[in-house]
Amino acid sequence: AEMAKKAKHITTQAKSDSFEYIHDEIGYNYRLVNVLAAMGVAQMEQLPGFINRKKEISDIYIAGLGGDKGFSFQKQTDNVIPNNWLFTLVADRQKEAIPVLTKNQIQVRPLWVPMNELTMFQDCIYVSEHAVSKAIYAKSLSLPCSSSITNEELNKVISTILSV
């Protein structure tokens, strides 16, 4: 109950006075209008199906690109059930694969640029012995994985990657 009260306070702009605009901490206006809330509820009703399809997509990619083909995937830890929101492939030839996939009208992206390499953080202290995030960024590809992608489209992605 206390956490719910705190959440409501913060998400209603953290106003501490019902008349004046006095805020006792940083607050946000994350309230939804009814129509958007209804859309969110409708999406949540479909969530189990979306998650099941995402798992199928992940399984298809791993089956098609796994083994000794030179690719690796994010490890899945025991006792963790991933939602497979994004499917990322680690490939030594990432830079070569992107233009080939793009030419074949397959939307692919590199993983996110490491935070310490973004302009707004260039003056921040960064300590790293191995620059792991930079290495992952240099080799990672985010593959198409919308829950509406067809198995035929997945097979096209797989065959195009294997052609590189």
Cα 135 from Cα 129, distance rounded (Å) = 12
Average of pLDDT values for 42-61? 96
CA distances from 68 to 5, 89, 93, 153 (A): 53, 14, 15, 23
CA distances from 63 to 35, 68, 120 (A): 41, 11, 40
Residue 128 confidence (pLDDT) above 90: no
pLDDT at residue 70 in the model: 86
Tell me the percentage of the chain whose pLDDT exceeds 70.
100
pLDDT at residue 17 in the model: 83
| Whole-number average pLDDT of the chain | 92
pLDDT at residue 31 in the model: 79
Residue 34 confidence (pLDDT) above 90: yes
Secondary structure, 3-state, the chain: CHHHHHHHHHHECCECCCCCCCECCCCCECCCCHHHHHHHHHHHHHHHHHHHHHHHHHHHHHHHHCCCCCEEECCCCCCCCCCCCCEEEEECCHHHHHHHHHHCCCCCEECCCCHHHCHHHCCCCCCCCCCHHHHHHHHEEEECCCCCCCHHHHHHHHHHHHHC
pLDDT at residue 21 in the model: 82
Q: At 150, is the pLDDT very low, low, confident or very high (cuts 50, 70, 90)?
A: very high
Question: pTM for the full model?
Answer: 0.77
Cα 92 from Cα 15, distance rounded (Å) = 52
Give the tens place of pLDDT for each residue, 63-93. 999 988 889 998 888 999 899 999 999 998 9
Matching residue, tokens 């921040």: 124
Q: At 154, is the pLDDT very low, low, confident or very high (cuts 50, 70, 90)?
A: very high
What's the first-to-final CA gap in the chain, in angstroms?
56
